[in-house]
A and B are shown apart, each in its own frame.
Chain A
Amino acid sequence: MSSGTSTAGRRVKQGLISLGWALAGVVIAILLWEGVKLLGTVITLPFETSDQAMPHVWTIAQGALQPEVRGSDTPVWLTVLIAALYTLLIAFGGFIIGVSVGLLLAIIMQRFAFMERGLLPFVIASQTVPLIALAPLIVGIGNRISFGPFQWGQTQSIMFIAAYLAFFPLSVGALRGLNASTPTQLELMRSYAASPRSTLWKLRFPASVPYLVPALKVSAAAAVVGTVVAQISTGGRGGIGRLIIEYARETTAQPAKVYIAVIGAILVGLIAAGLVALLDLYLTRNLPKEKLT
């Protein structure tokens, strides 16, 4: 018989262990990078390992401290960090919109069987459209949208693309989750003369949490990838995607720079994953551990 507090304590301890592993992962990544470079000097590898293509870890670290342009006060790391946070913000917006739309679609599809038959094929088809084809289309349509003072801009297009990728895993996961209540639980609700809305709030929705948790993780990753790729393909200013392109052009002069932007993109992904992990911890606080994936 474990009390609630000791369960929470165990969760915290597990969190710390995970953090330790994550740090170990970073160390292993650095060792692998340098190891491959070292190996490249001994034998011929099928890819370039010169300092031009794969700068040393310390060169990258040094590059991060350099000023953004000659004579500027802003170091590269700060520019990357600001761009990363801006990308994270847009990805967060896309995630919220995507999750809301995905959840709404799942609720509609669960409630009305004909909606599931009608909508689900379109939901799946939506993800077969290549993002690169979609991005200019959305920008093109978006440019013509304005309500009063609101003018659809590049930021809205990028957020839309992030939401477009994020809604899918969530709606599919949530639909499964909303249907995961046992027949006995549903009959109990019927015996209590519960309305469809009460059944949704008191049974179906909480019972879907074990399915929502992995879906939220996938959606968050999709929102981040969607934002970065959309920033690259629309050339959206201020984000990490644009920075990756810009720094890639400077490779001959400063080969380390593009990697700093890539690390910035990784940082966005890690922060997003961390935030979702906190959300999961909150959602699953009352559930038995063995039910969680």
Chain B
Amino acid sequence: MSEFAVHAEGVWKIFNEGAANEVTALSDVSLDVRKGEFVSLIGPSGCGKSTLLRVIADLTSASRGTVEVAGMTPQKAREDHQYGIAFQQAALLDWRTVRRNVELPLELAGWDKAKRRARALELLDMVQLHDFAESRPWELSGGMQQRVAIARSLATDPEILLMDEPFGALDEMTRERMQNELLRIAGATNTSVIFVTHSIPEAVYLSNRVVVMSPRPGRITHVVDVPLGDRNEDTRESDAFFEAVTAVREALRGRAKPVGEGGARLAETS
């Protein structure tokens, strides 16, 4: 089991089960994420991509099915600080300095003061915000705040990074720079990443695999392999990149053949 960062099998999530307003958010979802792999979840609103992320993070529980995170139950993984998480809102605490925001998960994990401080400064170095360690979050731009949030999500050196549209509120230029930084950081720390996004180019640029989901009920319809190798600025303009973007787009439109029926450029679910 432990060769996978995340292993989900036959996962269902049904809200208000049995009631008149019952909603099936996830229907028989299976997904394996290998260690060090970057996987994006993409799909229209209501397809359950955020719900799947929240089940993995143990922010909500699956109605049926098994989920393993770093070889343990999601609850154990959460309590063990096995994953880091970042959301669309940076959700920094206004009353803390940037450094002490990054220290927050370490405080709760019981690290002592000196170690916390050293680790936070190291992470702020990594996201190139060392000079702003003693600033307040509200003095920073949106992109800088999001970098602080990413530094914070990496604080406990987790095996797995869960990201729910972390760049959704950023402008295009900042967004591309952040994508490069994220790839650099994830590569350097060999972290597995599950990344929820609305943007097809973003999913393709970042991921080893793009998982395409569809709503009512939320399910995985396609898994697109993206064999682009090491990313650089030329990648975004390469033919292979556009081919992969087209493949994901067609999968989203439902034109490509779904999983298990042998779609052209589409790989089998693992």
Contact = CB atoms under 8 A, between A and B. Distances in A.
Interface of A: 1-2, 182, 184-185, 187-194, 198, 202-203, 206-207, 209, 286-288, 291
Contacts of B138: 288
Contacts of A185: 91, 93
B91 A188 contact: yes
B89 A184 contact: yes
A173 B88 CA distance: 29
Given A185-B91, A192-B105, A288-B136, 5 more contacts: A188-B91, A189-B108, A191-B85, A202-B107, A286-B95
B91 A192 contact: no
B136 A286 contact: yes
A198 B106 CA distance: 13
B35 interface: no
Nearest to A194: B108
A198 B108 contact: yes
Main secondary structure of the interface of B (DSSP, over half): loop
Contacts of A202: 93, 104, 107-108
B95 A182 contact: no
B83 A191 contact: yes
A11 to B, nearest CB: 15
A184 B166 CA distance: 12
A193 B91 contact: no
Please indicate which of the listed interface residues B83, B88, B89 has the most CB atoms of chain A within 10 Å of its own CB: B89
Contact of A192 (B81, B93, B94, B139): B81
A20 B136 CA distance: 31
A209 B107 CA distance: 22
Interface string B67-106: 0000000000011010101011101011110000000110
Contacts of B89: 182, 184
B240 interface: no
Contacts of A189: 108
Nearest to A193: B79
A108 B96 CA distance: 26
Nearest to A290: B138
Contacts of B135: 1
Contacts of B95: 206, 209, 286-287
B109 to A, nearest CB: 7
Nearest to A291: B94
Interface in B168-203: none
Contacts of B108: 189, 192-194, 198, 202
B118 interface: no
B81 A1 contact: no
A198 B16 CA distance: 30
Contacts of A192: 81, 104-105, 108-109
Contacts of B126: none
A206 B87 contact: no
B108 to A, nearest CB: 4
A30 to B, nearest CB: 42
Contacts of A286: 94-96, 136
Contacts of A198: 108
A188 B57 CA distance: 10
B20 to A, nearest CB: 23
Given A192-B81, A192-B105, A193-B81, A203 B93 contact: yes
